[in-house]
Structure formats: C-alpha cells, structure tokens
Amino acid sequence: MNMNQMMQQARKMQEQMAKVEEELTSTTVDASAGGGMVKVTVNGSMMLESITIDPEAVDPDDIEMLQDMIVAAVNEAQRGVSEIASRQMSAVTGGLNLPGMPF
C-alpha cells in the first residue's frame, strides 16, 4: 500500500467518523430506575434531556432513595449512549483503538 492510498483511507475514515458523531447528536437513550418510577432521556452528547418522576417516588421522609434512583437512571442512560457510540465507531475503525478517540 502506498502513501497516497493510506492518506485516502485515513480521509475516508475521518469522514465516516464525522458522520457517526453527527448521527450520535440525534440519538437518545431512555432509561429508568425504581421500577420505572424515575425515567430519563440522555442524548448522544451525554446531556440529560428530560426526567420524569412518578409522584409516588416522592417520599419526603426518604429523599435519598429518590436521589439514588435519579443517579441510577442517568448513569444507565449514559452507559447506553457510550455503548452505541462505541459500537458505531468500532464499525468505522474496524475495532482499532485509535488514540484520542473518546469511545
């Protein structure tokens, strides 16, 4: 393989990675905790978009449980986004672990 071919392949991979990153911005992952009492949506940029709390989850005597459910739901949604991003990037890179890639 000559240098020109390598540069073309690198350019193509960069374009594919940019496309994946763009697609990720429109991706959302829903997750829940506490048997669905807390539901969240996280986007492909790992930003929390929405949170829904069942009124029954609000117990003034046990705020810690509600806080734990929120954290668990957000963490699960973020884990889902990471898995999607990793899968999509791996498809582009052929499973290569490229330095500087967050996934």
pLDDT in tens, 31-61: 999 999 999 999 999 999 999 999 999 999 9
Which residues fall within 8 angstroms of residue 13, CB to CB, at 6 or more apart?
A: 92, 93
Burial (0-12, 13-18, 19+ Cβ within 10 Å), 82: middle
Q: For the CA atoms of 100, 79, 85, 42, what is the dihedral angle to 10 degrees?
A: -110
Which ranges of the chain does DSSP label H, i.e. alpha helix? 3-25, 63-93
The CA distance from 40 to 62, in Å, is 20
Model-level pTM?
A: 0.74
pLDDT tens, position by position, 60-85:
999 999 999 999 999 999 999 999 98
Tell me the domains of the chain and their CATH numbers.
3-93 (3.30.1310.10)
What whole-number distance in Å separates Cα of residue 4 and Cα of residue 80? 38
